[in-house]
Structure 1
């Protein structure tokens, strides 16, 4: 009784009273009469095994509740634009889940109109979107992560890949890989080629996923426009690089869109803090590479 009381954090008399009440309730003794030290009856042994399992499950439930309140367990519903999410966010999300395996994440693709509507209705907890400042309504909260910056990308074996200076005449003979026509990146492509003097351009591949765009870029001489963060994040594992040609950048930022009117699940602030820190580190690495490139130039 004394050892049991210590294990439960209770006094020995309190445990003895509880046992006596239990015996009275079930109408039969739980310990063999007159035996010292105490020896449980057959029923007492069975109840002890069941009680141990119940206590373990109760403790597990208590830990789960505590982890949920601390944002270390639960479920998150995320949305994001395909190229940015697959190119940058997915790896960060994987690292978050490796540290917080009890947080379940469900993801859907979309663009601003549908994603913002889903955040507003509560169907999504958070969306990764490119935004102009004027697009943020009073019922939304936006956490900027990256300033929009696009580059012209090509495969590492492309004829232009080794050149330090590239002109419009160098670009003109090559075809282009186009993102889906309903994506912001497609409009960026149109704006970019126009900004460097191309009024018309040939599209050899369009509408694919980021994986298929990478495959076509690497396996052909086609060019494409991608966020610099996507190229930077994959250039060590995929033979792709940005060309040294300045193009017009979109006047927007990439960031996190959440509802200002809804109480978030406890895991969301933890996720937002993690993602924000990871993007700070990504920004620092990209800035360092740009400084190194400028010095080499």
Structure 2
């Protein structure tokens, strides 16, 4: 004999609530509809489901056994409803985010942790890349969005870019660097020291080359290259080598008090950090919630970053 699963769910709701009216409310049905279901089920089984004259309603052994199966289905139905509600509200799902290494390590990874403290059921898959790789990954649907610096977004690219932080580069060094003791620091003084080169493919590498050429360098003294952000900073802390970093990255390490920025203005391209994603594809609610969190995090940081910039670069 095949029994309709919906009938078992209604039976379980009545047993759980102890009454037909209360059970009907649990499953969003009317009391007459549930009463008809129970009556029809008893006739089909040829056995009573509840003991007569008991209030609240008490199931017979058969009624209890069937209600137990219905309870499993009722719990599964509620869980499925919760999953749908959480997904539609962005509280569950997967976010695939890619980004440039230095920004991801210095700033975004901490923001991901804050996001998941509020959205623990959202999984975040992070990857690294520079603009061309990130754009290809978005187009191939390997990632949902990218956090990266961009100077110009080509018209007709099919991409949407939303700025979250204006770009500004600085010359970074260890906090006890000899150049910080100079009463009047000249940009030409920078050529007296070796440099740490950002990883290949990083826009910072081109910025470093442009800076040194603008200072009249005929030969670039690269002492160390190709390392991650952590390795570059650990190297910098132990040497007099200099490097070019986004000011926001130096800001992220302010509490460590091991690196800082030299008080010199340097040329660099107009470039902004932002969120890049396709403009014409449906967006999962969790991805939208994550993007909103990143934007709000940077909105909260902007004034602190600006104040830090004025203190370490212009206030030195």
What is the TM-score normalised by the length of structure 1? 0.89
CA distance, structure 1, for counterparts of residue 231 and residue 77 of structure 2: 49
Superposed CA RMSD in Å reads 2.3
CA distance, structure 2, for counterparts of residue 163 and residue 20 of structure 1: 93
* Alpha-carbon spacing, 1:163–1:99, altered in 2? closer, same or farther (3 Å): farther
Deviation digits for residues 203-247 of structure 1 (CA, Å, limit 9, x no counterpart):
221111111111111122211111101001112135110111221
1:62 positional shift: 0.9
Aligned pairs for 1:45-64 (under 5 A) are 45-64=64-83
CA distance, structure 2, for counterparts of residue 294 and residue 190 of structure 1: 21
Deviation digits for residues 124-156 of structure 1 (CA, Å, limit 9, x no counterpart):
211112212253534111111222211111111
Aligned length: 296
Unmatched runs of 5 consecutive residues or more in structure 1:
none
Deviation digits for residues 91-113 of structure 1 (CA, Å, limit 9, x no counterpart):
12221121111221111111111
* Alpha-carbon spacing, 1:22–1:60, altered in 2? closer, same or farther (3 Å): same
Match of 2:163 in 1: 144
* Alpha-carbon spacing, 1:115–1:164, altered in 2? closer, same or farther (3 Å): farther
Matched residue SS, 1:221: coil
Higher relative contact order (CA 8 A, sep 6+): 1
Structure 1 contact 164–244 (Cα < 8 Å) conserved? no
Counterpart pick for 2:288 among 269, 285, 294: 269
1:260 positional shift: 1.3
1:42 positional shift: 2.2
Match of 2:7 in 1: none
Match of 1:171 in 2: 190
Are residues 1:281 and 2:300 paired?
yes
Matched residue SS, 2:179: coil
Deviation digits for residues 39-72 of structure 1 (CA, Å, limit 9, x no counterpart):
3222322332332332222112112211211222
Match of 1:105 in 2: 124
CA distance, structure 2, for counterparts of residue 270 and residue 3 of structure 1: 37
Are residues 1:36 and 2:54 paired?
yes
When structure 1 is superposed on structure 2, of 47-56 and 212-221 the one drifting more is: 47-56
Matched residue SS, 1:160: helix
CA distance, structure 2, for counterparts of residue 136 and residue 92 of structure 1: 30
Match of 1:16 in 2: 35
CA distance, structure 2, for counterparts of residue 242 and residue 165 of structure 1: 15
What is the TM-score normalised by the length of structure 2? 0.84
Counterpart pick for 2:99 among 74, 77, 80: 80
1:10 positional shift: 4.3
CA distance, structure 1, for counterparts of residue 83 and residue 180 of structure 2: 53
Counterpart pick for 1:209 among 228, 233, 241: 228
When structure 1 is superposed on structure 2, of 76-85 and 129-138 the one drifting more is: 129-138
